[in-house]
Amino acid sequence: MDQNSHCTAERELLEAVSRITTFSTPSPTDEEQNQPKAEISCQVRKENPEKDDLQDSSASLSPNSSMTTKELQEYWRNEKSQCRQVKLLFEIPSTRIVEHHLSKYVMYKIIILQTGSFDSNKSVIERRYSDFEKLHRNLLEEFSEEMEDVTFPKKTLTGNFTEEIINERKLAFKDYLRLLYSMKYIRRSKKFIDFLTRPELQEAYGCLRGGQYTKALEILLEVIGLQERLTRGNPVSIVPTLCAIVVCHKDLENPASAFEYGEKALSRLRVHTSHRYYIPLLETMITLAYELGKDFLSLQEKLEEWKAKKDPIRVFTLKELAVREYVQ
Protein backbone atom coordinates (compact mmCIF):
# COMPACT_ATOMS: atom_id res chain seq x y z
CA MET A 1 0.00 0.00 0.00
CA ASP A 2 1.46 3.41 -0.97
CA GLN A 3 1.75 6.32 1.45
CA ASN A 4 -1.28 8.21 0.10
CA SER A 5 -3.52 5.16 0.40
CA HIS A 6 -2.27 4.54 3.93
CA CYS A 7 -3.02 8.16 4.96
CA THR A 8 -6.48 7.98 3.40
CA ALA A 9 -7.31 4.75 5.24
CA GLU A 10 -6.06 6.18 8.53
CA ARG A 11 -8.10 9.36 8.05
CA GLU A 12 -11.26 7.32 7.31
CA LEU A 13 -10.68 5.22 10.44
CA LEU A 14 -10.34 8.34 12.61
CA GLU A 15 -13.54 9.80 11.14
CA ALA A 16 -15.40 6.55 11.85
CA VAL A 17 -14.23 6.54 15.47
CA SER A 18 -15.28 10.18 15.79
CA ARG A 19 -18.77 9.40 14.47
CA ILE A 20 -19.18 6.47 16.88
CA THR A 21 -18.10 8.64 19.81
CA THR A 22 -20.51 11.38 18.77
CA PHE A 23 -23.44 8.98 18.48
CA SER A 24 -22.68 7.24 21.78
CA THR A 25 -22.62 10.48 23.78
CA PRO A 26 -25.65 12.51 22.70
CA SER A 27 -26.12 15.97 24.12
CA PRO A 28 -29.09 16.47 26.45
CA THR A 29 -32.24 17.86 24.93
CA ASP A 30 -33.73 21.17 26.03
CA GLU A 31 -36.48 19.27 27.82
CA GLU A 32 -33.95 17.21 29.80
CA GLN A 33 -31.96 20.31 30.69
CA ASN A 34 -35.06 22.08 31.98
CA GLN A 35 -36.41 19.23 34.12
CA PRO A 36 -36.26 20.08 37.86
CA LYS A 37 -33.77 18.01 39.80
CA ALA A 38 -36.09 17.43 42.73
CA GLU A 39 -38.67 15.66 40.55
CA ILE A 40 -36.46 13.19 38.69
CA SER A 41 -35.46 10.21 40.77
CA CYS A 42 -33.30 8.66 38.04
CA GLN A 43 -31.19 11.76 37.31
CA VAL A 44 -27.42 11.23 37.21
CA ARG A 45 -25.83 12.29 40.49
CA LYS A 46 -23.42 15.21 40.37
CA GLU A 47 -20.96 14.51 43.14
CA ASN A 48 -19.11 11.51 41.68
CA PRO A 49 -20.93 10.25 38.59
CA GLU A 50 -18.28 7.73 37.54
CA LYS A 51 -18.26 6.05 40.93
CA ASP A 52 -22.06 6.08 41.19
CA ASP A 53 -22.44 4.69 37.68
CA LEU A 54 -20.15 1.80 38.55
CA GLN A 55 -22.07 1.10 41.74
CA ASP A 56 -25.41 1.28 39.94
CA SER A 57 -24.15 -0.99 37.19
CA SER A 58 -22.95 -3.63 39.63
CA ALA A 59 -26.19 -3.38 41.61
CA SER A 60 -28.30 -3.71 38.47
CA LEU A 61 -26.31 -6.40 36.74
CA SER A 62 -25.58 -8.68 39.65
CA PRO A 63 -29.13 -10.05 40.07
CA ASN A 64 -29.67 -10.52 36.35
CA SER A 65 -27.25 -13.39 35.91
CA SER A 66 -29.69 -15.92 37.36
CA MET A 67 -32.96 -14.37 36.10
CA THR A 68 -35.33 -15.93 33.61
CA THR A 69 -36.63 -13.87 30.69
CA LYS A 70 -39.88 -13.15 32.53
CA GLU A 71 -38.00 -12.11 35.66
CA LEU A 72 -35.77 -9.82 33.61
CA GLN A 73 -38.78 -8.15 32.04
CA GLU A 74 -40.36 -7.57 35.45
CA TYR A 75 -37.06 -6.31 36.87
CA TRP A 76 -36.49 -3.74 34.12
CA ARG A 77 -40.14 -2.72 34.19
CA ASN A 78 -39.66 -1.79 37.83
CA GLU A 79 -36.39 -0.03 37.05
CA LYS A 80 -38.05 2.07 34.35
CA SER A 81 -40.94 2.98 36.63
CA GLN A 82 -38.46 4.62 39.00
CA CYS A 83 -37.46 7.01 36.22
CA ARG A 84 -40.94 8.28 35.46
CA GLN A 85 -41.87 11.63 36.86
CA VAL A 86 -44.93 11.22 39.05
CA LYS A 87 -46.98 14.03 40.51
CA LEU A 88 -49.99 13.76 42.75
CA LEU A 89 -52.88 16.16 43.11
CA PHE A 90 -54.96 16.52 46.27
CA GLU A 91 -58.64 17.40 46.26
CA ILE A 92 -61.03 17.72 49.21
CA PRO A 93 -64.48 17.76 47.59
CA SER A 94 -66.65 17.01 50.61
CA THR A 95 -66.88 16.50 54.36
CA ARG A 96 -69.12 14.75 56.83
CA ILE A 97 -69.83 15.37 60.49
CA VAL A 98 -69.37 12.37 62.77
CA GLU A 99 -71.07 12.20 66.16
CA HIS A 100 -70.21 9.64 68.81
CA HIS A 101 -71.35 9.48 72.41
CA LEU A 102 -69.37 12.43 73.75
CA SER A 103 -67.49 13.58 70.66
CA LYS A 104 -68.24 15.33 67.43
CA TYR A 105 -65.83 16.03 64.59
CA VAL A 106 -65.55 16.69 60.86
CA MET A 107 -64.12 14.09 58.47
CA TYR A 108 -62.50 15.51 55.33
CA LYS A 109 -62.69 13.37 52.21
CA ILE A 110 -59.33 13.51 50.39
CA ILE A 111 -59.04 12.37 46.79
CA ILE A 112 -55.48 11.75 45.59
CA LEU A 113 -55.02 11.76 41.82
CA GLN A 114 -52.01 11.10 39.66
CA THR A 115 -51.51 13.78 37.02
CA GLY A 116 -52.46 12.70 33.53
CA SER A 117 -54.44 9.72 34.80
CA PHE A 118 -58.10 8.75 34.80
CA ASP A 119 -60.27 8.20 37.87
CA SER A 120 -59.24 4.53 38.01
CA ASN A 121 -55.94 5.66 39.55
CA LYS A 122 -57.43 7.78 42.29
CA SER A 123 -57.21 6.99 45.99
CA VAL A 124 -59.83 8.11 48.50
CA ILE A 125 -59.15 8.51 52.22
CA GLU A 126 -60.72 10.41 55.11
CA ARG A 127 -58.93 12.39 57.82
CA ARG A 128 -60.09 14.64 60.63
CA TYR A 129 -58.65 17.92 61.90
CA SER A 130 -56.72 16.19 64.71
CA ASP A 131 -55.02 13.92 62.13
CA PHE A 132 -53.77 16.95 60.19
CA GLU A 133 -52.71 18.60 63.44
CA LYS A 134 -50.69 15.54 64.49
CA LEU A 135 -49.00 15.40 61.07
CA HIS A 136 -48.06 19.07 61.31
CA ARG A 137 -46.63 18.64 64.79
CA ASN A 138 -44.58 15.59 63.75
CA LEU A 139 -43.22 17.28 60.65
CA LEU A 140 -42.16 20.34 62.64
CA GLU A 141 -39.98 18.09 64.80
CA GLU A 142 -38.02 16.83 61.80
CA PHE A 143 -38.35 19.56 59.18
CA SER A 144 -38.47 22.80 61.14
CA GLU A 145 -36.63 24.81 58.47
CA GLU A 146 -38.68 23.46 55.56
CA MET A 147 -41.91 24.08 57.50
CA GLU A 148 -40.98 27.63 58.46
CA ASP A 149 -43.36 29.27 55.98
CA VAL A 150 -46.06 26.58 56.05
CA THR A 151 -49.25 27.83 57.69
CA PHE A 152 -51.72 25.57 59.44
CA PRO A 153 -55.39 26.42 60.07
CA LYS A 154 -55.83 27.21 63.73
CA LYS A 155 -58.46 25.82 66.01
CA THR A 156 -61.44 27.94 66.88
CA LEU A 157 -63.30 27.86 70.17
CA THR A 158 -66.69 28.11 68.45
CA GLY A 159 -68.11 27.66 65.00
CA ASN A 160 -66.07 24.57 64.07
CA PHE A 161 -69.11 22.96 62.48
CA THR A 162 -70.41 25.95 60.53
CA GLU A 163 -70.42 25.67 56.75
CA GLU A 164 -68.15 28.70 56.47
CA ILE A 165 -65.41 27.29 58.73
CA ILE A 166 -65.60 23.83 57.14
CA ASN A 167 -65.26 25.28 53.62
CA GLU A 168 -62.32 27.43 54.70
CA ARG A 169 -60.55 24.39 56.13
CA LYS A 170 -61.25 22.31 53.03
CA LEU A 171 -59.34 24.85 50.94
CA ALA A 172 -56.65 25.28 53.60
CA PHE A 173 -55.99 21.55 53.92
CA LYS A 174 -55.90 21.14 50.14
CA ASP A 175 -53.23 23.85 49.86
CA TYR A 176 -51.43 22.40 52.89
CA LEU A 177 -51.10 18.94 51.32
CA ARG A 178 -50.10 20.40 47.96
CA LEU A 179 -47.35 22.45 49.62
CA LEU A 180 -46.05 19.51 51.65
CA TYR A 181 -45.94 17.30 48.57
CA SER A 182 -43.99 19.96 46.65
CA MET A 183 -41.09 19.55 49.11
CA LYS A 184 -39.05 16.48 48.19
CA TYR A 185 -37.77 15.52 51.64
CA ILE A 186 -41.21 15.84 53.20
CA ARG A 187 -43.14 13.90 50.56
CA ARG A 188 -40.62 11.06 50.88
CA SER A 189 -40.68 11.08 54.67
CA LYS A 190 -42.23 8.21 56.60
CA LYS A 191 -44.37 10.64 58.60
CA PHE A 192 -46.04 12.07 55.50
CA ILE A 193 -46.54 8.65 53.90
CA ASP A 194 -47.91 7.24 57.15
CA PHE A 195 -50.45 10.05 57.35
CA LEU A 196 -51.83 9.04 53.94
CA THR A 197 -51.71 5.24 54.34
CA ARG A 198 -51.27 4.05 57.94
CA PRO A 199 -54.92 4.18 59.18
CA GLU A 200 -56.08 2.05 56.25
CA LEU A 201 -53.18 -0.38 56.66
CA GLN A 202 -53.88 -0.74 60.37
CA GLU A 203 -57.50 -1.58 59.60
CA ALA A 204 -56.50 -4.06 56.90
CA TYR A 205 -54.01 -5.90 59.11
CA GLY A 206 -56.55 -5.95 61.92
CA CYS A 207 -58.98 -7.71 59.57
CA LEU A 208 -56.23 -10.10 58.46
CA ARG A 209 -55.45 -11.07 62.06
CA GLY A 210 -59.16 -11.62 62.65
CA GLY A 211 -59.45 -13.95 59.66
CA GLN A 212 -61.52 -11.44 57.66
CA TYR A 213 -59.45 -11.99 54.54
CA THR A 214 -61.98 -10.63 52.04
CA LYS A 215 -62.27 -7.31 53.89
CA ALA A 216 -58.51 -7.13 54.48
CA LEU A 217 -57.84 -7.80 50.78
CA GLU A 218 -60.31 -5.12 49.70
CA ILE A 219 -58.53 -2.47 51.79
CA LEU A 220 -55.02 -3.62 50.85
CA LEU A 221 -55.80 -3.49 47.13
CA GLU A 222 -57.07 0.07 47.54
CA VAL A 223 -54.03 1.29 49.46
CA ILE A 224 -51.29 -0.50 47.46
CA GLY A 225 -51.69 1.82 44.46
CA LEU A 226 -51.23 4.90 46.62
CA GLN A 227 -48.27 3.31 48.39
CA GLU A 228 -46.60 2.59 45.07
CA ARG A 229 -46.98 6.18 43.89
CA LEU A 230 -45.74 7.60 47.18
CA THR A 231 -42.69 5.32 47.51
CA ARG A 232 -41.31 5.09 43.97
CA GLY A 233 -37.85 5.90 45.26
CA ASN A 234 -38.04 3.02 47.74
CA PRO A 235 -39.89 0.07 46.13
CA VAL A 236 -38.84 -2.35 48.88
CA SER A 237 -41.00 -0.47 51.39
CA ILE A 238 -44.23 -1.88 49.92
CA VAL A 239 -43.09 -5.52 50.13
CA PRO A 240 -45.00 -6.14 53.41
CA THR A 241 -48.24 -4.94 51.81
CA LEU A 242 -47.70 -7.07 48.72
CA CYS A 243 -47.00 -10.09 50.93
CA ALA A 244 -50.14 -9.43 52.98
CA ILE A 245 -52.09 -9.49 49.71
CA VAL A 246 -50.43 -12.82 48.89
CA VAL A 247 -51.50 -14.22 52.27
CA CYS A 248 -55.11 -13.05 51.76
CA HIS A 249 -55.36 -14.51 48.26
CA LYS A 250 -53.77 -17.78 49.41
CA ASP A 251 -56.18 -18.18 52.34
CA LEU A 252 -59.10 -17.31 50.06
CA GLU A 253 -57.90 -20.11 47.75
CA ASN A 254 -56.90 -17.82 44.89
CA PRO A 255 -53.44 -19.28 44.17
CA ALA A 256 -53.04 -17.62 40.75
CA SER A 257 -53.64 -14.14 42.19
CA ALA A 258 -51.42 -14.94 45.17
CA PHE A 259 -48.62 -15.99 42.82
CA GLU A 260 -49.05 -12.82 40.73
CA TYR A 261 -48.56 -10.52 43.73
CA GLY A 262 -45.80 -12.77 45.05
CA GLU A 263 -43.86 -12.21 41.82
CA LYS A 264 -44.23 -8.45 42.27
CA ALA A 265 -42.89 -8.66 45.81
CA LEU A 266 -40.05 -10.99 44.84
CA SER A 267 -38.93 -8.68 42.01
CA ARG A 268 -38.47 -5.88 44.58
CA LEU A 269 -36.28 -8.13 46.74
CA ARG A 270 -34.01 -9.25 43.92
CA VAL A 271 -30.99 -7.46 45.39
CA HIS A 272 -32.28 -7.51 48.98
CA THR A 273 -32.00 -11.19 49.86
CA SER A 274 -31.31 -10.38 53.50
CA HIS A 275 -34.76 -8.78 53.85
CA ARG A 276 -36.90 -10.49 56.51
CA TYR A 277 -39.61 -11.28 53.95
CA TYR A 278 -37.32 -12.86 51.34
CA ILE A 279 -37.14 -16.47 52.57
CA PRO A 280 -40.76 -16.73 53.77
CA LEU A 281 -41.86 -15.33 50.41
CA LEU A 282 -39.65 -17.77 48.50
CA GLU A 283 -41.08 -20.70 50.46
CA THR A 284 -44.64 -19.55 49.77
CA MET A 285 -43.90 -19.03 46.08
CA ILE A 286 -42.48 -22.56 45.80
CA THR A 287 -45.70 -23.97 47.28
CA LEU A 288 -47.85 -21.84 44.96
CA ALA A 289 -45.77 -22.67 41.87
CA TYR A 290 -46.05 -26.39 42.61
CA GLU A 291 -49.82 -26.08 43.08
CA LEU A 292 -50.21 -24.14 39.82
CA GLY A 293 -47.93 -26.39 37.80
CA LYS A 294 -45.38 -23.63 37.29
CA ASP A 295 -41.59 -23.81 37.43
CA PHE A 296 -40.71 -24.15 41.10
CA LEU A 297 -37.21 -25.59 40.65
CA SER A 298 -35.60 -22.20 39.98
CA LEU A 299 -37.23 -20.87 43.15
CA GLN A 300 -36.04 -23.94 45.05
CA GLU A 301 -32.50 -23.34 43.79
CA LYS A 302 -32.59 -19.75 45.09
CA LEU A 303 -33.77 -21.02 48.47
CA GLU A 304 -31.04 -23.65 48.69
CA GLU A 305 -28.44 -21.13 47.55
CA TRP A 306 -29.50 -18.71 50.29
CA LYS A 307 -29.46 -21.43 52.95
CA ALA A 308 -25.96 -22.48 51.90
CA LYS A 309 -24.65 -18.94 52.39
CA LYS A 310 -26.45 -18.08 55.64
CA ASP A 311 -26.32 -19.58 59.08
CA PRO A 312 -29.51 -21.49 59.90
CA ILE A 313 -31.87 -19.23 61.82
CA ARG A 314 -35.51 -19.42 62.77
CA VAL A 315 -37.59 -17.98 59.96
CA PHE A 316 -41.26 -17.08 60.33
CA THR A 317 -43.78 -18.11 57.73
CA LEU A 318 -45.17 -15.41 55.45
CA LYS A 319 -48.46 -15.39 57.32
CA GLU A 320 -46.72 -15.16 60.70
CA LEU A 321 -44.81 -12.11 59.50
CA ALA A 322 -47.93 -10.49 58.08
CA VAL A 323 -49.97 -10.76 61.27
CA ARG A 324 -47.15 -9.08 63.19
CA GLU A 325 -47.33 -5.91 61.09
CA TYR A 326 -49.01 -2.86 62.64
CA VAL A 327 -49.55 -4.53 65.99
CA GLN A 328 -50.28 -1.79 68.50
Does 20 map to a domain? Answer: no
- CB-side exposure of 50: number of CA atoms within 13 Å? 0
CA distance 282 to 267: 11
Q: Which of 133, 162, 188 is the last residue of a domain?
A: 188
CATH code for position 253: 1.25.40.10
> Are 252 and 167 part of one and the same domain?
no
Does 49 map to a domain? Answer: no
> Are 135 and 167 part of one and the same domain?
yes
- The partner residues of 112 in beta bridges, in order of sequence, read 90, 123
> Are 160 and 222 part of one and the same domain?
no
Does 316 map to a domain? Answer: yes
Please tell me the total count of domains within the chain: 2
Does 307 map to a domain? Answer: yes
Q: Count, in order, helices (H) and strands (E) of the chain.
A: 14, 3
Does 26 map to a domain? Answer: no
Does 57 map to a domain? Answer: no
Q: Which of 144, 171, 188 is the last residue of a domain?
A: 188
> Are 182 and 204 part of one and the same domain?
no
CA distance 268 to 270: 6
> Are 204 and 96 part of one and the same domain?
no
The one-letter amino acid at 288: L
CA distance 291 to 285: 10
Encode the chain (328 residues) as per-residue pLDDT tens digits: 444 544 454 555 445 444 434 433 444 444 444 443 333 333 333 344 434 433 433 444 444 445 566 666 665 555 555 445 568 999 999 999 999 888 899 999 999 998 865 556 789 999 999 999 999 999 999 999 999 989 998 888 777 889 999 999 999 999 999 999 999 999 999 999 999 999 999 999 999 999 999 999 999 999 999 999 999 889 999 999 999 999 999 999 999 999 999 999 999 999 999 999 999 999 999 999 999 999 999 999 999 988 888 766 777 999 999 999 998 6
To the question of pTM greater than 0.95 for the whole model, the response is: no
> Are 279 and 226 part of one and the same domain?
yes
Enclosing domain of residue 92: 80-188
CATH code for position 163: 3.30.1520.10
